[in-house]
Chains A and B, each alone.
Chain A
Amino acid sequence: MTHNGPAGTRTADSVGVPSSSDTSSADLSAVVRETIAEVLGTTPDAIVDSTDLRTEYGIDSLELMAIGAQLERVLNVPISAEDLMGADTVGQAVELLAQRKAGRE
């Protein structure tokens, strides 16, 4: 799958990542990192598995909701801001999403 870069997009929560039903775990990680990067105004390579969005970026609840809403739409799995708040790092969030996806399939 291809990832449309977020560059130039200004409309919140409309990150240019395509929807896919057969996302592999590497792709899943890429989608999550790209979504987070767009909301935080950074690049996906700045977001790694060990990134802690709270301590490193001071992410707020609305930003987490924006990330959750986008992932929910793109991955077609239910994910709430509370779910994401339960993850300490990006890697944990990806793991959580992978479980959700597996559960659905």
Chain B
Amino acid sequence: MTPQQHHSTAGRWPSERPRVVVTGIGVKTPAGLTLDEAMSAVLAARSTAALHDELAEGGSPVHFACRVPEFDPEPYVTRRERRQIDRPTELALCAAADAVEQAALSGLPSARVGVHLGTGIGGLPTMESSVREHYGDSRRMPVHAVPRTMANSAAARVAMRYGFRGSCVTYNTACASGATAIGEAARRIQYGELDVAVGGGFDAAVTAFMLTGFSRMQALSTRNDAPEQASRPFDAQRDGFVMGEGAAVLVLERRESALARGAHIFGEVAGYATNADAHHIVAPHADGAVAAACMADAIADAGLLPADIGQINAHGTSTPANDSSEATAIHRCFDGQAPPVTAVKGVTGHLIGGSGALEAAISLVCAERRIVPPVANLTEPSEADRIDVVFGAPRSVDRAPVLSNSFGFGGQNVCLVLLPAT
């Protein structure tokens, strides 16, 4: 695309709106501890779901989840700092450290660098264990109980670590939080407030209590006898999502400054839109009209037309309701001419606040490699009347922008348009 195409959104943005590129990506996910690892697992359509004994022992009706493989946090976080943070923050800090290191930022005024992260659940799992361990025993309540569990802990820690003094904001749009953070971070750069933003999402809520809560709504797959087959977006036999955990953090930057300093550019965050179903506290609207409008708005925000999109990285949670209404929304937005659709949650599970950010990162790689990953566990597509979901093997496509969808409880819709580097 050319910068002139941005003129189609004239009236909303100055014609000289800065383009926002990605110069660093860090991930700590069930599918891998680097973006390359995660991408390989996604292309192989290899599920990462596994049984975890503590879930059954804790009384959860669901005994499996997608967990981040064990890794040594010492290179990232000192023992002193580890005592003061919880797992969600630790995963976010590690991913952010990888992203910042990769971007190799230097010589920037600290006030022009911000941190924008999203989390759906934040420190609630830690608060859960604090209540269990310290309720009614104030002398044993850790001094760091509040700073460890507050939702903005991770963003504040990233800002503290690097001395980034620009806007530092934590977003909650439930399962869309990571996508919201990236979209809002891009806006700050487009608006001229920041030159660089660390943007992404995280969550780590694989606890018996959290899983029990989600399964009380019948949101989770209960396939305890075959966890690796449980997450199957757009498949006729799907029965709910699989809880995951993890963090994905991107360094976003003005394209001009990235080019000027010779940084490696992974691609571009070109379009963003968000709206709300205003319909039901957890269920998506079945007619998909508002979600479709969100997709259309994000595409227009990028100065593109629906026909310019080469593939869609769907939210695709593997819940009966999400996948059906999302298929309808895509069909509606693209007027029956939607490009191929993929979804990574068959591999990664649902990272909640981390999902939208990880999927944006994966989308950038897909755009660059001109490939659409197959959906894991999909053998019987139930939405084939409306959308063309890729399964079985990766599919090659032309070099083209990718639409990445994220939806959250509360009727939150968030769409990003990612471009290969130009």
Contact = CB atoms under 8 A, between A and B. Distances in A.
A41 B78 contact: yes
Given A69-B139, A72-B139, A73-B139, A62 B144 contact: yes
A73 B84 CA distance: 19
A40 to B, nearest CB: 5
A93 interface: no
A9 to B, nearest CB: 8
B89 to A, nearest CB: 13
A33 to B, nearest CB: 15
B212 to A, nearest CB: 23
B80 to A, nearest CB: 3
A38 B84 CA distance: 12
A65 B139 contact: no
A13 B78 contact: no
Given A12-B144, A62-B144, A62-B147, A41 B139 contact: no
B139 to A, nearest CB: 5
B82 A66 contact: no
Interface of B: 78-84, 133, 139-140, 142-144, 147-148
Given A10-B83, A13-B143, 17 more contacts: A10-B82, A12-B83, A12-B142, A12-B144, A12-B148, A13-B140, A13-B142, A40-B80, A41-B78, A41-B81, A42-B80, A62-B84, A66-B142, A66-B143, A69-B139, A69-B143, A72-B139
15 contacts: A10-B82, A10-B83, A11-B142, A12-B84, A12-B148, A13-B140, A13-B144, A39-B80, A41-B78, A41-B79, A41-B80, A42-B79, A62-B84, A66-B144, A69-B139
Interface of B is mostly: helix
B139 A12 contact: no
Contacts of A10: 82-83
Nearest to B80: A41
Given A12-B144, A62-B144, A62-B147, A39 B139 contact: no
Contacts, number: 42
A10 B133 CA distance: 14
Contacts of B140: 13-14, 73
Contacts of B144: 12-13, 62, 66
Interface string A2-24: 00000000111110000000000
A39 B83 CA distance: 7
A40 B81 CA distance: 8
A14 B84 CA distance: 12
A16 B362 CA distance: 44
B211 to A, nearest CB: 22
Contacts of B143: 12-13, 62, 65-66, 69
Contact of A14 (B79, B82, B142, B147): B142
Nearest to A81: B143
Nearest to A68: B143
Contacts of A13: 140, 142-144
A89 B83 CA distance: 23
A13 B141 CA distance: 8
A50 B412 CA distance: 57
A47 B82 CA distance: 19
Nearest to A57: B80
A40 B84 CA distance: 10
A32 B84 CA distance: 19
A72 B133 CA distance: 19
A10 B83 CA distance: 5
B204 to A, nearest CB: 14
A36 to B, nearest CB: 11
A69 B138 CA distance: 10
Interface in A26-69: 38-42, 62, 65-66, 69
Contacts of B148: 12
A40 B139 CA distance: 20
Contacts of B142: 11-14, 66
A10 B82 CA distance: 7
